[in-house]
Amino acid sequence: MKKPALLLLIVLLTAAIFSQQIIAFAESSAQEDQPTPTYSSWIVTSTPNPDGSIVHIVQEGETLWDIALAYGVPGSEIMTNSGNSAQTTDVYVGQVLIIRQPNPATQTPSLTPTPTRITAQATLLRPTLTPVPTQTLFPTPTPTEQTNAFIRVFADTQTVGLTLVGVSGVGIVLLLIFGFFKKSE
């Protein structure tokens, strides 16, 4: 086998070994009890209020980008719903953001009286009133769904960067080793 082909084979085998280690790391981290926080998995989302609206109170360390990813709503829509400009991207701790507006109220049809004969009855029938829902003042925290292990591994840029540096380092070392061998004739 020629040197370039041998070198290519060794680099490919090294890359395959590193990729197996990355997959093993992903599987082991998926089995841990503590979830690994990624871009927006650490944000606690609010449950919808009875009227369908969703309100989020900005906590320390949260950005508009993280909040938009957690709720699956564009950041410009969140800012517009909250009464801000769609181009605004700055949020501050304690700021109340309206993620979704309340659903429009449905009109209840009015009852039309039907003429009836008056008969003597022991009890007087009254129509029941429909209860009015109350509004929740504070959102109820709901944990967001966790992403799969493969996405979590590649979302961690430090691990990906270290892996690429390691593979590159092995390739350079192999190049230096095989580059100094003289061709035997």
Q: What is the pLDDT of residues 84-131, one digit of tens each?
A: 888 888 898 999 999 988 887 777 777 777 777 776 666 666 777 777
Q: Is the pLDDT of residue 184 over 70?
A: no
Arithmetic mean of pLDDT over the chain: 76
Q: What are phi and psi of 8, to 5 degrees?
A: -60, -40
27, two tokens: 């599987």
Q: What are phi and psi of 112, to 5 degrees?
A: -100, 135
Separation CA 160–CA 144 (nearest Å):
24
Burial status of residue 183 (CB atoms within 10 A of its CB: 0-12, 13-18, 19 or more): exposed
The answer to whether 56 touches 67, Cβ cutoff 8 Å, is yes
Q: Is the pLDDT of residue 47 over 70?
A: yes
Separation CA 45–CA 58 (nearest Å):
10
Separation CA 169–CA 132 (nearest Å):
68
- pLDDT winner (highest mean) among 28-32, 129-133, 179-183: 129-133
| Residue 6: predicted pLDDT | 72
Confidence of residue 40 (pLDDT cuts 50, 70, 90): very low
Q: Which of 26-40, 66-80, 84-98, 121-135 shows the lowest per-residue confidence on average (mean pLDDT)?
A: 26-40
| Residue 168: predicted pLDDT | 87
Separation CA 80–CA 89 (nearest Å):
11
Residues above pLDDT 90, as percent of the chain: 9
Rounded to two decimals, what is the model's pTM? 0.38
Confidence of residue 38 (pLDDT cuts 50, 70, 90): very low
Least Cα distance to 62 among 79, 40, 83 occurs for 40
Under 8 Å CB-to-CB from 85, ≥6 apart: which residues?
A: 79
Mean pLDDT of the 169-179 span: 79
